[in-house]
Amino acid sequence: MIGGIPLGDVLLASGALFLIGIAGALLRRNAITIFLSIEVMMNAANLALVGYGAALGTREGQIVVFFVIAIAAAEAAVGLAIFVSLFRHTESINVNEIHLLKW
Amino acid sequence: MAGFPVERIAFDLAAAAAVLFASVMVVHKHPVKSVLALVVAFFGLAVCFVLLSAPFLAAIQVIVYAGAILVLFLFVLMLLNVDVEARLPGDRRPLHVFLSSGALLLFAAALLSLLRREGASVPAGRYGPAGAEIAPLARLLFSDYLLPFEALSVLLLAALVGAFVLARREGP
């Protein structure tokens, strides 16, 4: 029941979360923290989707969020596997020390 | 909507908690504590979902996100024995900091202007208590969105195999 919740509040929270995620992804050097920041950004988008879905009275927003969460799970599994194998090679997950593809 | 806006206050509190703990996640130097802060933030988001009449997503948020994905992060962090983020000599180049903060400010400004317009134009919802039911959601998921749903299961299988292949120890 969004009766008492203005959409502006939802969008403000979503925007703030997205900004925090961007800040983390840009400023942190730990690969796993960057990954977590990306998760925060996805959750910000989820919040906006659910908010709009509730405001417009449709369920499509929730469906999209369902797919986003499932894809985030797949992405986390593959990404963390990449970090594990990367850590075996370089003994570090600091993104400044990882420059295999950087010439 | 007369009287005390309980739902709005509850939503604002939960959202504020989520934002607060997300910023703790970004600021904290220790990755394990970052993950734990993010668990709390995702619980706050789950409360937000309940208040926005999406209880199914709230359950998914707690079970899949806080329960599975973040625990996976914790496992990997402890497996790799990652310590406090070290600061390397060439880490904070002025140009990098300048460009990052410039991009952030630009995005914040764009977001604020967008929010001012969108928040005013979209009407606050008329989603009754019936909207919170899960059965219509399931019906939609298994009729109109059946093909994406099945594709998703293939994707999850591919991720499973991919994660196994990537993290496997090479050699004999």
For residue B153, what pLDDT is reported?
Answer: 94
Chain B contact present for A45, CB below 8 A: no
A78–B163: do the CB atoms touch at under 8 Å?
yes
Identify all chain B residues contacting A82, using CB atoms and an 8 Å cutoff: 166
Spatial separation of the C-alpha atoms in residues B70 and A89, rounded to whole Å: 24
The tens digit of pLDDT for each residue in A15-41 reads 899 999 988 988 888 889 999 999 999
Chain A contact present for B26, CB below 8 A: yes
The tens digit of pLDDT for each residue in B129-161 reads 545 678 888 888 899 999 999 999 999 999 999
Strand partners, A30: A94
pTM: 0.86
Q: How confident is the model at residue B121 (pLDDT cuts 50, 70, 90)?
A: very low
- Residue B104 corresponds to which tokens in the numbers above? 């952030």
- In this predicted structure, the answer to whether residue B122 has a pLDDT above a threshold of 50 is no
B38–A24: do the CB atoms touch at under 8 Å?
no
The tens digit of pLDDT for each residue in A49-74 reads 998 888 887 888 889 999 999 999 99
Vertex A85: Cα angle to A79 and A90 (nearest 5): 115
B85–A73: do the CB atoms touch at under 8 Å?
no
Q: At what angle do helices B31-51 and B6-27 cross, to 10 degrees?
A: 160
Chain B contact present for A41, CB below 8 A: no
Chain A contact present for B122, CB below 8 A: yes
Q: What is the CB neighbour count within 10 angstroms for residue B9?
A: 12
- Provide the chain A residues 61-100 that lie in CB contact (below 8 A) with chain B: 62-63, 65-67, 69-78, 80-85, 87-88, 93-94, 96-97
How many CA within 13 A on the CB side of residue A57?
10
Q: Is residue B141 within 8 Å of residue B151, measured between CB atoms?
A: no
For residue B131, what pLDDT is reported?
Answer: 55
- In this predicted structure, the answer to whether residue A81 has a pLDDT above a threshold of 60 is yes
A40–B41: do the CB atoms touch at under 8 Å?
yes
For residue B58, what pLDDT is reported?
Answer: 92
DSSP state letter for B124: P
